């Protein structure tokens, strides 16, 4: 199976790249961002300091340092407001730009967290639909990206992602 929902800590996954749900500074934060910086070690922050931040929807790449993953792709999800401020397009751009960068670096396996659905408050049903639709659409015909993991951290997110994926595959 090319697309898989895996519950647990994204920092433990043995994939070529993990995606970080970062903030615009790209210098670390809470949630999955904090977990990735802790697990990768201080060299990750040093590498991020050279990136000069990122805009919402953009993606930038560093090495993975102490992580099992070779690379971290840092993308900035939108803060959800009321859904009328381009949130859906910006969230989609995070997945698109991350996959584009993965291709440029010949990454074969990649894991995404559920971008924007924690501190940034994006409604999970809508965010999961954007995540799964965008990723499946972009990778279904690609030989280079062999595996995509949707890394989820709680039961509800796991259930919703699994449902979206099964709808798309059927």
Identity of the residue, 32 or 44, whose beta carbon is nearer to ligand ADP in the bound complex: 32
User: What's the min distance (Å) between Cβ of 76 and ligand ADP?
Assistant: 8
Q: Which of 96, 49, 61 is nearest to 77 (CA)?
A: 96
Identity of the residue, 30 or 42, whose beta carbon is nearer to ligand ADP in the bound complex: 30
Neighbours of 39 (CB within 10 A): 20
The H or E element that residue 55 is part of is none
Q: For the CA atoms of the chain, what is the radius of gyration?
A: 14
User: What's the min distance (Å) between Cβ of 105 and ligand ADP?
Assistant: 21
Identity of the residue, 95 or 153, whose beta carbon is nearer to ligand ADP in the bound complex: 153
Phi, psi of 64 (to 5 degrees): -100, -10
User: What's the min distance (Å) between Cβ of 143 and ligand ADP?
Assistant: 27
Identity of the residue, 85 or 140, whose beta carbon is nearer to ligand ADP in the bound complex: 85
Phi, psi of 6 (to 5 degrees): -125, 125
* Sole residue written with tokens 């690379």: 71
Which residues contribute to the site for ligand ADP (CB under 6 A)?
Answer: 9-11, 21, 31-33, 35, 77, 113-120, 151, 153-154, 157
Q: Which of 70, 76, 99 is nearest to 3 (CA)?
A: 99
User: What's the min distance (Å) between Cβ of 18 and ligand ADP?
Assistant: 9
């Amino acid at each position: 199976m090319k697309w898989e929902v895996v519950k647990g800590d994204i920092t433990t996954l043995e994939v070529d790249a993990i995606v970080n749900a970062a903030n615009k500074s790209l210098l670390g934060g809470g949630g999955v961002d904090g977990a990735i910086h802790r697990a990768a070690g201080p060299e990750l922050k040093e590498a991020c300091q050279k990136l000069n931040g990122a805009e919402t929807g953009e993606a930038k790449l560093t090495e993975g340092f102490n992580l099992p993953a070779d690379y971290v792709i840092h993308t900035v999800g939108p803060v959800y407001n009321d859904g009328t401020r381009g949130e859906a397009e910006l969230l989609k751009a995070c997945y698109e730009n991350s996959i584009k960068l993965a291709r440029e670096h010949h990454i074969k396996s990649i894991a995404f967290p559920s971008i924007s659905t924690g501190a940034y408050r994006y409604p999970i049903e809508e965010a999961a639909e954007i995540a799964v639709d965008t990723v499946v659409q972009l990778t279904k015909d690609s030989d280079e990206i062999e595996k995509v993991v949707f890394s989820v951290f709680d039961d509800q997110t796991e259930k919703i992602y699994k449902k979206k994926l099964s709808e798309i595959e059927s």
